[in-house]
């Protein structure tokens, strides 16, 4: 990482790196350089449209309908489940880097938060991929889908929309489903995988809190009502609407209010 480089440009270099190990190493170096004050915010070229981030040739990306589903009671079934988690974490690295690269002229705390999130997603990916390898499999062995990056493209025009639909919807959904997934893995005798999901849940509560904080910050700046704005974005962008149930304990810890959770439940009941 070159000390003279701008944070946005350095994040772009990490984002477009196709190698898995190289992207993870570059993201860790980016976080270290930013936290040491070696990267600035001035002088970057304007952000460009990114059709796809740097990523390896495998996994093959397919429609979600074509993904294999196996019972968690078999070794291969657990591997497929953990591969899906690894893919989410790898995409989350790219989403955090894209937020750092794409969105300009925001408070320094925004970049502090998303650089930290990117580094934590690298940590999560490393934990899951290493455990997958201990089971005799590797990231890339099974097909995956591109839904997370499709949402990144759809929200690239506005940080408020990104904060609303990625942390407050997609990542927050992870808070709802993680405990049941953990229980299935623990029940199958994979205590190490269960412990990894505990770490991911702990950190993802913080990531959703980051999204909540900056969504509300941007709403205040623009004089917008947060709930009306969020509900409007969900109706406009999410064809299938919101999916529940919502685990209140984790969502409250991530910065949702009781009133928001009640409104979320009503919003989830709406049909197309």
What's the pLDDT score for residue 68? 67
Of 88, 5, 17, the closest CA to residue 50 belongs to 17
Note the pLDDT tens digit of each residue in 133-164. 999 999 999 999 998 899 999 999 999 999 99
Secondary structure of 111-142 as H, E, C letters: HHHHHHHHHHHHHHHHHHHHHHHHCCCCCCCC
Give the number of residues written for the chain.
272
DSSP conformation letters of 157-193: T-HHHHHHHIIIIIIHHHHHHHHHHHHHHHHTT-HHH
Note the pLDDT tens digit of each residue in 152-199. 999 999 999 999 999 999 999 999 999 999 999 999 999 999 999 999
What's the pLDDT score for residue 175? 96
Question: How much is the mean pLDDT over the chain?
Answer: 93
The domain ranges of the chain are 7-268
What's the pLDDT score for residue 239? 79
Note the pLDDT tens digit of each residue in 93-139. 999 999 999 999 999 999 999 999 999 999 999 999 999 999 999 99
Gyration radius (Cα) of the chain, Å = 18
Note the pLDDT tens digit of each residue in 5-50. 899 999 999 999 999 999 999 999 999 999 999 999 998 899 999 9
């Amino acid at each position: 990482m070159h000390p003279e480089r701008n944070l946005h440009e350095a994040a772009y270099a990490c984002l477009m790196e196709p190698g898995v190990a190289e992207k993870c190493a570059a993201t860790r170096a980016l976080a270290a350089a930013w936290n040491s004050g070696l990267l600035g915010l001035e002088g970057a070229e304007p952000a460009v449209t990114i059709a796809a981030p740097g990523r390896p040739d495998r996994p093959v990306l397919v429609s979600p309908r074509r993904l294999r589903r196996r019972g968690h009671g078999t070794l291969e079934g657990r591997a497929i489940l953990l591969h899906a988690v690894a893919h989410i974490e790898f995409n989350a690295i790219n989403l955090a880097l894209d937020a750092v690269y794409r969105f300009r002229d925001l408070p320094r705390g925004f970049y502090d938060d998303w650089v930290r999130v990117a580094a934590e997603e690298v940590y999560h990916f490393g934990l899951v991929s290493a455990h997958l390898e201990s089971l005799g499999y590797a990231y890339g062995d099974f097909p995956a889908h591109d839904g997370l990056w499709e949402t990144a493209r759809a929200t690239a025009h506005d940080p408020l929309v990104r904060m609303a639909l990625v942390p407050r919807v997609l990542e927050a959904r992870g808070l709802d489903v993680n405990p049941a997934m953990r229980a299935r893995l623990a029940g199958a005798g994979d205590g190490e995988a269960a412990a990894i999901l505990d770490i991911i849940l702990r950190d993802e509560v913080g990531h959703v809190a980051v999204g909540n904080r900056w969504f509300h910050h941007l709403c205040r700046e623009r004089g917008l009502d947060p709930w009306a704005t969020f509900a409007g974005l969900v109706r406009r962008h999410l064809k299938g609407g919101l999916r529940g149930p919502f685990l209140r304990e984790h969502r409250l810890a991530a910065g949702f209010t009781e009133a928001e959770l009640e409104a979320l439940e009503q919003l989830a009941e709406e049909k197309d």
